[in-house]
């Protein structure tokens, strides 16, 4: 009998979420652990696998599980390794697929978190039926999953689709990014980027803003959004600025793969129209005439938590896949 379940892992810099998923894309049961609690990768895998086994046992046992799919920052689809992830506690190269497979006794396949989200979106979300789209994840950082002709692009080395680390600023004033480079769009259009813009603008001017009621160092993108919703001009302008930079960069991505749509996903998309409007405006101002007003920009329709787990699980269902599974 075909095994009816797969496990999906969505590893983030803060939380690791995981769930058991059936072939129809229902997340039967899910849970999470704190990624940052475990500075030793072996300890992290021990706890993660023990927690996953609880879900597995409740669903009828490991015999019913076909494998594990994981979305992880800098996860390499070809090797099964997590390689030099700047936002994770483990440095260098971590053979994650192997570590999970040997603990769970089922095969494991990994990709990066944004590619997993793109697979989730293509299989169950707003990109269903699309063969060419780009998923941009706007969370703590900016990630991306690029789908061309119905397939996620992995490139020569398995690391394609790092659009958060394309450059929007050059020169002295460009912000330093977590990746070590300067001027990456991730340093501007992520949740962290929005908070950073707020702190910079508050320090640089003495303009009135509701944000001045908060300790500057603790300001988050949510605070900026809340202030904007209360009509705060500076907060609104911060989203305008963020959206404009992101939209300008999206125009570059359109010139690359001419997608049918760009799907925005992740925490920052909760800002809604005050982000979407400047994004769409800047996109259309910066694409070639042939693409003006032709590229759909959509918010993901999947719940944050489910998209990545579902997408990761889709790695296991995907029988045409190019990469070997770690067993």
Task: Please identify, using beta-carbon distances, which residue of 11 and 227 lies nearer to a copy of itself.
Answer: 11
**Rounded (5°) CA angle 173-179-182:** 15
Task: Please identify, using beta-carbon distances, which residue of 60 and 150 lies nearer to a copy of itself.
Answer: 150
Contact 140, 191 (CB under 8 A): yes
Residues 6 or more apart in contact with residue 17 via CB below 8 angstroms: 9, 10, 30, 31, 32, 305, 308, 309
Q: How far apart are CA 252 and CA 125, in angstroms?
A: 24
Burial of 317 (0-12, 13-18, 19+ CB in 10 A): middle
Min dist CB 137 to a copy of itself, Å, is 14
Min dist CB 7 to a copy of itself, Å, is 27
Residues 6 or more apart in contact with residue 222 via CB below 8 angstroms: 191
Min dist CB 169 to a copy of itself, Å, is 9
DSSP string, 276-312: HHHHHHHHHHHS-GGGTTTSEEEE--S-HHHHHHHHH
DSSP 35: G
Min dist CB 274 to a copy of itself, Å, is 21
Q: How far apart are CA 111 and CA 161, in angstroms?
A: 11
Task: Please identify, using beta-carbon distances, which residue of 187 and 235 lies nearer to a copy of itself.
Answer: 187
Token output for 314: 């889709």
Token output for 140: 């703590």
Task: Please identify, using beta-carbon distances, which residue of 31 and 181 lies nearer to a copy of itself.
Answer: 181
Min dist CB 144 to a copy of itself, Å, is 9
Alpha helices in the chain (DSSP H): 41-59, 96-104, 113-124, 186-189, 191-204, 221-229, 233-257, 273-286, 304-317
Task: Please identify, using beta-carbon distances, which residue of 103 and 244 lies nearer to a copy of itself.
Answer: 244
Binding site for a copy of itself (CB under 8 A): 74, 83-84, 131-132, 146, 148-149, 151, 153-163, 165-167, 170, 179-181, 248, 251-253, 255-260, 286-291, 294
Task: Please identify, using beta-carbon distances, which residue of 13 and 259 lies nearer to a copy of itself.
Answer: 259
Min dist CB 261 to a copy of itself, Å, is 8
Task: Please identify, using beta-carbon distances, which residue of 19 and 164 lies nearer to a copy of itself.
Answer: 164
- Is the torsion defined by CA of 118, 123, 124, 129 positive or negative? positive
Min dist CB 88 to a copy of itself, Å, is 14
């Amino acid at each position: 009998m075909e095994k009816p379940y797969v496990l999906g892992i969505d590893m983030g810099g803060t939380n690791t979420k995981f769930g058991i998923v059936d072939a129809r894309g229902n997340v039967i049961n899910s849970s999470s652990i704190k990624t940052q609690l475990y500075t030793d990768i072996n300890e992290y895998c021990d706890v993660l696998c023990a927690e996953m086994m609880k879900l597995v046992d409740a669903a009828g046992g490991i015999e019913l599980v076909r494998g594990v799919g994981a979305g992880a920052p800098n996860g390499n689809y070809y090797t099964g390794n997590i390689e030099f992830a700047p936002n994770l506690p483990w440095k260098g190269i971590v053979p994650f697929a192997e570590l999970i497979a040997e603990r769970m006794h089922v095969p494991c396949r990994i990709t990066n978190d944004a590619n997993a989200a793109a697979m989730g979106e293509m299989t169950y979300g707003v990109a269903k039926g699309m063969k060419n789209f780009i998923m941009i994840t706007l969370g703590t950082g900016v990630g991306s999953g690029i789908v061309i002709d119905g397939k996620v692009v992995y490139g020569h080395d398995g690391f394609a689709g790092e659009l958060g680390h394309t450059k929007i600023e050059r020169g002295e004033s460009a912000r330093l990014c977590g990746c070590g480079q300067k001027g990456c769009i991730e340093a501007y259009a992520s949740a962290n980027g929005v908070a950073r813009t707020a702190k910079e603008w508050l320090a640089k001017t003495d303009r009135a803003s509701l944000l001045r009621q908060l300790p500057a160092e603790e300001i988050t993108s949510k605070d900026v959004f809340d202030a904007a919703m209360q009509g705060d001009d500076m907060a609104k302008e911060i989203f305008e600025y963020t959206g404009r930079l992101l939209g300008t960069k999206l125009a570059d991505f359109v010139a690359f793969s001419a997608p049918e749509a760009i799907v925005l996903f992740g925490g920052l998309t909760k800002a809604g129209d005050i982000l979407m409007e400047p994004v769409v405006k800047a996109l259309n101002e910066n694409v070639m005439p042939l693409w003006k007003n032709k590229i759909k920009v959509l918010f993901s329709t999947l719940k944050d938590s489910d998209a990545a787990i579902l997408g990761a699980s889709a790695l296991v269902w995907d029988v045409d896949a190019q990469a070997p599974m770690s067993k």
